[in-house]
Amino acid sequence: MKERTLAILKPDCIQNNLTGEVISHLLKAGFKIIGMKMVKLNQQTAGEFYAVHKGRPFYDELVEFMTESRVVALALEKEDAVTELRKTIGATDPAEAEEGTIRKLYAESKGRNIIHASDSVSNAILELGFFFSRRELIENV
């Protein structure tokens, strides 16, 4: 079944001029981009987005990192999009990521790992709604 999911090209992706390579990788993996925008998160919006991690040791560092510079939010569509995107990007720690995955190819470290991907269908719905209104997503692409 076709699903939608969210990917965020993180500040390290933008700062290292890897946006085109990562988007190309996603397109070659069969994802359709149905929404895309560049945004600058502030402490409040990054904190809201990552609220599920509040209280964890990495939360403050993650919020700080996500506010360093702009990010690109991508609404993606594909059969089993959530699972397929997680496979395409690889493990959070690039040292543990499989060869050919986005994080293995481009990420610096576990903390600076190039890309965010929704981890479940229910979170994908919530996360897409955080960045995109319904009218912003292109239907039947």
Residue pair 84/28 in contact (Cβ under 8 Å)? The answer is: no
Long-range contacts of 104-109 (CB under 8 A, 24+ apart): 105/21, 105/25, 106/13, 106/16, 106/18, 106/21, 106/22, 107/12, 108/12
Q: Is 116 assigned a catalytic role? A: yes
Closest CA to 74 of 37, 28, 101: 37
- Measure the CA angle with vertex 51, ends 45 and 52; round to 5°: 145
Annotated catalytic residue within 10, 25, 103, 116: 116
61 class by beta-carbon count within 10 Å (0-12 exposed, 13-18 middle, 19+ buried): exposed
Q: What whole-number distance in Å separates Cα of residue 44 and Cα of residue 101?
A: 31
- Catalytic center residues: 116
